[in-house]
Amino acid sequence: MKALRDLAASFSYFSIFPAPYAENDGGPSTGAVAWVPLVGLAIGALSGLGAYGVARLTHAPVAAAITAWVLSIALSGAIHVDGFLDCCDGLFAMVSPQRRLEIMRDPHHGSYAIVGMAIISVLWVYALANIPAWALPYAVAAAAFAARLGAVAMRPSARLPIAVWVVFFLIATAIGRNYAPALGAGFVAMWLLPAAVLFFARRRLDGTLNGDCYGAAIVVSEIALLMISAVSTSLGPGLLR
């Protein structure tokens, strides 16, 4: 029962999906955070399916890409993107670590956040536009899941449920069976990129990490994984095909 409550709380806090038994007034619990990868899987699958539907209707890759991009942000409640934007404003400011933390807690966004959003939006849509329509549900779901898994696994108190690792094994097996280079590149994006983002944040914040830092790690990793999917589907038999 506790696992179900944690899963419901994770959906409630990290997405716009309504979920019962969710108490997140004080922020997500450690148990709720552990289920974030499955929340990402649901968000990614729905976003990819929506994009696939638009692609079939319009035959316009850019329209499908924009659909997946908008849904990925909207269905998550923009929580990870907001963390990325807060990090842009705080981590790049030439002030003390304490002042950086204050900037990151400010709900308003500054010029660094605007520039950061412009950059990731272009990269995000570009990657999605270069993924074939048939692959969008798989690629977006896998990227959303893996990016969250990599970031959450780096939390000091992380204890991921067995169900999360089972899903990870199934996705990795499916990708590796058809296109091993994509699996290798995906591992790099999934583990090394979040580690690099969190290392940079820790240095800039004098050893402190908060939820915004993990959100930034998720966004960076997810876009990189989508780029890898775009390349793999154009050069080889394709992701999960």
Q: Where are the domains of the chain?
A: 2-235
Q: What is the DSSP string of 168-216?
A: HHHHHHHHHHH-HHHHHHHHIIIIIHHHHHHHHHHHHTTT---HHHHHH
The tens-digit pLDDT sequence of the chain (241 residues) is 788 888 988 999 999 998 765 555 567 888 889 999 999 999 999 999 999 999 999 999 999 999 999 999 999 999 999 999 999 999 999 999 999 999 999 989 999 999 999 999 999 999 999 999 999 999 999 999 999 999 999 998 778 999 999 999 998 888 777 676 777 888 888 999 999 999 999 999 999 999 999 999 999 999 999 999 998 876 654 444 4
Residue corresponding to tokens 């915004």: 212
Which runs of E-coded beta strand occur in the chain?
A: none
Q: What is the pTM of this model?
A: 0.92
